[in-house]
């Protein structure tokens, strides 16, 4: 039988196999072993590093070791970034920081909102303008919207130069009295408004010296807009609700209007009055279903019961009957009372009946 290996090959294998085994054993023994205590210590150090981090805007091309450590970087990560710079590399865009050896994606995502590349090294766009790269923004402080300058809004990073100038022009032309009007400015996005809201102050303004308060049931949009606390959007919602309601019986009903905040409600109450004689009434016995359904105090479930009972019974003469027939609760009846009238059908045989749509005397059905 022919041999697989020659004697020379056998001697070579006998020599190299022990050497290979020793090399593998040496690598295993030389590799540092991480015990449970070491893992707990590393995790504790990481948690302490994250908790003690004070994230703030920084330039990776200029930050020193201490500043990097204060941002929550480990010694290894801080040295890695410094070595990256020492090798002649420059951070041109924030994403370059992620190229540093040992930087994880989670670390970069945590630092990304605070990375500021200085104008000296940043990549400028082809159509360069001074607005594209700005210095580190100022920390915002509370400011009065009536007097804030465009330079300040730009310095805190809220708006670009053109946006800030447009905002000041808008304010000087239209006036800004509350957050609703601030959000109405076309250069203020919702995110910017949310960021500015904790710092914006509005001057306390006295209501205009009206000879008498605004009558809310007959006032047009321009008159309502003159009331401090009613903005452009509030005017639309108030007038739409007034139309559905048929007019306000009490000024307190203004609190039911969507979009009227509690703060504005308190200010508005001092400047308006309500003439309940101006409200539009509904004839509960003969009004069309769509007319009844538009009223905000008549729920769909109530409307169905009302129409079904009216078809069978013919109508009612008092609110008390609606409560007894389980059409309305006493609370619903009290709310609807100013808006209802009870018309009766005039017959040829009965001369003392009233015509459709008329007000019924209180003692008529007794």
Q: What is the pLDDT of residues 318-348, one digit of tens each?
A: 889 999 999 999 998 898 999 999 887 655 4
What is the rounded average pLDDT of the residues 1-30?
Answer: 73
Position 366 scores a pLDDT of 35
Handedness of CA 81, 85, 91, 95 (dihedral sign): negative
Position 11 scores a pLDDT of 78
The pLDDT of residue 175 is above 70: yes
Q: What is the pLDDT of residues 215-240, one digit of tens each?
A: 999 999 888 888 888 888 889 999 99
Position 248 scores a pLDDT of 93
Q: How far apart are CA 287 and CA 4, in angstroms?
A: 110
Position 243 scores a pLDDT of 93
Token pair 């009965």 is found at 350
For residue 333, how many C-alpha atoms fall within 13 Å in the half-sphere facing its CB?
14
Position 5 scores a pLDDT of 66
Looking at 51-55, 263-267, 288-292, 293-297, which range is the least confident one?
51-55
Position 362 scores a pLDDT of 42
How is residue 272 annotated by DSSP? E
The pLDDT of residue 310 is above 80: yes
Position 47 scores a pLDDT of 54
Position 276 scores a pLDDT of 84
Position 14 scores a pLDDT of 76
Position 46 scores a pLDDT of 56
| Among 208, 207, 206, 196, CA closest to 144 | 196
């Amino acid at each position: 039988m022919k041999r697989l290996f020659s004697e020379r090959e056998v001697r070579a294998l006998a020599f190299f196999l022990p050497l290979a085994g020793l090399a593998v054993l040496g690598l295993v023994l030389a590799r540092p072993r991480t015990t449970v205590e070491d893992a707990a210590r590393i995790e504790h150090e990481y948690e302490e590093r994250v908790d003690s981090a004070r994230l703030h805007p920084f330039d990776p091309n200029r930050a020193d070791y201490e500043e990097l450590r204060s941002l929550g970087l480990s010694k290894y990560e801080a040295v890695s970034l410094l070595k990256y710079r020492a090798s002649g590399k420059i951070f041109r865009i924030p994403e370059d920081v992620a190229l540093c050896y040992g930087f994880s994606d989670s670390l970069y995502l945590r630092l990304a909102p605070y990375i500021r590349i200085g104008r000296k090294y940043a990549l400028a766009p082809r159509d360069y303008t001074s607005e594209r790269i700005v210095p580190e923004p100022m920390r915002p402080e509370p400011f009065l919207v009536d007097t804030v300058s465009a330079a300040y809004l730009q310095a805190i990073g809220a708006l670009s130069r053109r946006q800030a100038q447009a905002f000041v022009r808008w304010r000087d032309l239209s006036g800004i009295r509350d957050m609703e009007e601030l959000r109405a400015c076309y250069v203020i996005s919702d995110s910017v408004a949310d960021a500015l809201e904790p710092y914006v102050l509005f001057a306390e303004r006295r209501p205009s010296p009206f000879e008498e308060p605004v009558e809310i049931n007959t006032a047009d949009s321009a008159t309502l807009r003159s009331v401090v606390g009613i903005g452009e959007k509030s005017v639309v919602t108030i007038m739409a609700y007034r139309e559905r309601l048929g007019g306000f019986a009490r000024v307190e009903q203004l609190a039911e209007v969507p979009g009227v905040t509690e703060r504005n409600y308190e200010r508005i109450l001092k400047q308006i009055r309500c003439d309940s004689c101006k409200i539009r009434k509904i004839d509960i016995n003969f009004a069309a279903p769509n007319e009844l359904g538009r009223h905000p105090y008549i729920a769909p479930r109530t409307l169905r019961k009302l129409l079904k009972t009216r078809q069978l019974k013919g109508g009612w003469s008092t609110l008390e009957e609606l409560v007894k027939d389980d059409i309305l609760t006493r609370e619903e009846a009290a709310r609807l009372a100013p808006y209802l009238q009870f018309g009766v059908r005039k017959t040829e045989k009965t001369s003392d009946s009233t015509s459709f749509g008329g007000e019924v005397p209180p003692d008529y059905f007794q």
